[in-house]
Structure formats: C-alpha cells, structure tokens
Amino acid sequence: MAAAAATAAAKGNGGGGGRAGAGDASGTRKKKGPGPLATAYLVIYNVVMTAGWLVIAVGLVRAYLAKGSYHSLYYSIEKPLKFFQTGALLEILHCAIGIVPSSVVLTSFQVMSRVFLIWAVTHSVKEVQSEDSVLLFVIAWTITEIIRYSFYTFSLLNHLPYLIKWARYTLFIVLYPMGVSGELLTIYAALPFVRQAGLYSISLPNKYNFSFDYHAFLILIMISYIPIFPQLYFHMIHQRRKILSHTEEHKKFE
C-alpha cells in the first residue's frame, strides 16, 4: 500500500506545476498553477528527492557487489532511506498550502503509510531488518520514487519525455504488487517480536482507561490492504489507459 500509494498520486502531474491550481484562493481562475517561486522550489525539491533515491539505488547495488549476496542490504542504505522517505512529509505541506494540486488527505495517507513502515515497523523491530522482505519493498520504492520524482521535475519544467511518463504509468504493474508483498511480509515477520516485547502497547488498568495492542493493530493494518490495494491498483490501471492512449492520439496528429 505504501508502495502503491506513491505511484497512485492520482493526476498526471501530482508533483506540481503546469495545471489546475487547487491553491487558488480567489477561486476565479482554475488553471493557475504555482507561481514562479513555488515552481522553482518544487523543482529543487523534486531534483533533490530524485537524487536521494538514486543514492539509495546506488547504495544497494554497491552493497550487493561488495557482499556478494542480496541479504541484509538494509543496513547499507538505512540512513538515506530514513532521511529521504521521511522528507516526503513535506509533500503533505505542499498540498496544504496549495502549490501542488493533490488532495491533502490522499497525500497524507500515502506518505504516512510509508513513514509508518520505515519507523514503526522496520526501525522499531530490529529483528526484521535482516529479512529479505525489506529488500523487496525497498527496491520497489526506490525504482518508483526515482521515476516519480523525475516525472514531477520534468512536468514542472514543461518538458516531459514520453519514456518517463510511460515508465511511471507502466512499471507500477510489477512494482506495486512487489512493494505490497514486501510490506506485508515485513509486518508479518515483526508480529512475534512485537507480541513478545509488548511493543507500543498499554494494558489496563491505568488512570486514562485506555488500552492499545500494537500486535492486534498491525494485524488490522495487514487486513486493510485487502480493500485498499486493489482500489489503488485499478485506479492506476485506469489512469494508465487514459493518459497513455491520450498521448498516442496526440502523437498521431504531429
């Protein structure tokens, strides 16, 4: 879901710029888009993020070559992964102040689910860090994010190579399920350790008359993938048909 999330940033250029300014406070014109300052900032933001995820990609490859195996590669890219994925929280702010025309709710959901997996599962439950499932979602996220942030960068500069657009709306077909599998397997692997340590859990009695079972919560999260993932996936398939066939038609007239 966290994997599905970022790719399904709904519209063609959710990263920003070029069209439909949701942030237009006066509400008189629809096609305003962010101003020149906001556009410059967003270009820098998206370039930095593209670079960050490239660093992670390179880090993975180098670690693989150095170790000779694909196990436990998480440790080699732990810091940049945490830094750049957490940095994506800024995207919620971008929607909130209107320089990006996406829904705050949808973006929050997407970013929070990623941040949740990084910090509340992988970071918090040290025992899962050596699991292969972690590599599965890290690879899926890395490829997705490199394409997504470069897509936004080029869109903002009004020069989007068809290859990037194609990649964004095609690779998800494999990357989504791959990422979701990695995420679910990681959460599942964390369960026994969470239960054993009583991680993030409170039990009765206590003076605020509240209890929380993190183990049960994680199971609920896993179950929530069942209704949510297909919706996001088929939304992207639908978007793909719309956006890629649209471009084909335009090409015919050139």
Partner 1 sequence: SKHPDPFHTLREVEILDAKTREKLCFLDKVEPHATIAEIKNLFTKTHPQWYPARQSLRLDPKGKSLKDEDILQKLPVGTTATLYFRDLGAQISWVTVFLTEYAGPLFIYLLFYFRVPFIYGHKYDFTSSRHTVVHLACICHSFHYVKRLLETLFVHRFSHGTMPLRNIFKNCTYYWGFAAWMAYYINHPLYTPPTYGAQQVKLALAIFVICQLGNFSIHMALRDLRPAGSKTRKIPYPTKNPFTWLFLLVSCPNYTYEVGSWIGFAIMTQCLPVALFSLVGFTQMTIWAKGKHRSYLKEFRDYPPLRMPIIPFLL
Q: Does 205 bind partner 1 (CB under 8 A)?
A: yes
Q: Which of 65, 159, 210, 252 binds partner 1 (CB under 8 A)?
A: 210
What is the smallest separation between the CB atom of 208 and partner 1, expressed in angstroms?
4
Give the position of tokens 């750049």: 84
Cβ distance to partner 1 smaller for residue 68 or 205: 205
Cβ distance to partner 1 smaller for residue 207 or 251: 207
Q: At what angle do helices 36-67 and 74-87 cross, to 10 degrees?
A: 170
What is the smallest separation between the CB atom of 11 and partner 1, expressed in angstroms?
19
Q: Which residues contact 99 (CB under 8 A, 6 or more apart)?
A: 16, 23, 34, 38, 41, 42
Question: Exactly one of 176, 214, 225, 233 is catalytic; which is it?
Answer: 176
What is the smallest separation between the CB atom of 230 and partner 1, expressed in angstroms?
19
Q: Binders of partner 1 among 140-159, rule CB under 8 A?
A: none
Q: Does 211 bind partner 1 (CB under 8 A)?
A: yes
Q: Does 26 bind partner 1 (CB under 8 A)?
A: no
Q: Does 206 bind partner 1 (CB under 8 A)?
A: yes
Q: Does 208 bind partner 1 (CB under 8 A)?
A: yes
**Residue 183 falls in the annotated catalytic set:** yes
What is the smallest separation between the CB atom of 74 and partner 1, expressed in angstroms?
35
Please give the size of the binding site for partner 1, defined by CB under 8 A: 8
**Residue 45 falls in the annotated catalytic set:** no
Q: Does 204 bind partner 1 (CB under 8 A)?
A: yes
